[in-house]
């Protein structure tokens, strides 16, 4: 192997994990958005489990 091949190999081995780390770090959600999604999920579960008393009247 010549020097250029070794340098490219080492660069690749260091570069890809760093790019993966940055991608994962960038993909993290804002805590406020996560809280709103949790509230929406809770509301949807509540809405699906509570029976509407006027549903049978129609």
H-helix or E-strand containing 30? none
State both tokens at 1. Answer: 């192997």
pTM, entire model: 0.39
Residue 54 CB-half CA count within 13 A: 0
The dihedral through the CA atoms of 12, 13, 14, 20 has a sign that is: positive
Q: Where are the domains of the chain?
A: 3-49
What is the per-residue pLDDT for 32? 86
Give yes or no for residue 2 having a pLDDT over 60.
yes
Better-predicted residue by pLDDT, 29 or 12:
12
Q: What are 21-54's pLDDT values in tens digits? A: 888 877 777 888 889 889 999 998 888 888 777 7
Banded model confidence at residue 57, pLDDT cuts 50, 70, 90: low
State both tokens at 27. Answer: 């993909």
The C-alpha atoms of residue 58 and residue 53 are separated, in whole angstroms, by 10
């Amino acid at each position: 192997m010549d020097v250029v091949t070794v340098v490219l190999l080492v660069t690749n081995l260091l570069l890809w994990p760093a790019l993966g780390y940055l991608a994962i770090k960038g993909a993290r959600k804002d805590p406020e958005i996560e809280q709103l999604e949790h509230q929406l999920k809770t509301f949807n579960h509540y809405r699906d489990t509570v029976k509407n008393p006027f549903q049978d009247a129609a």
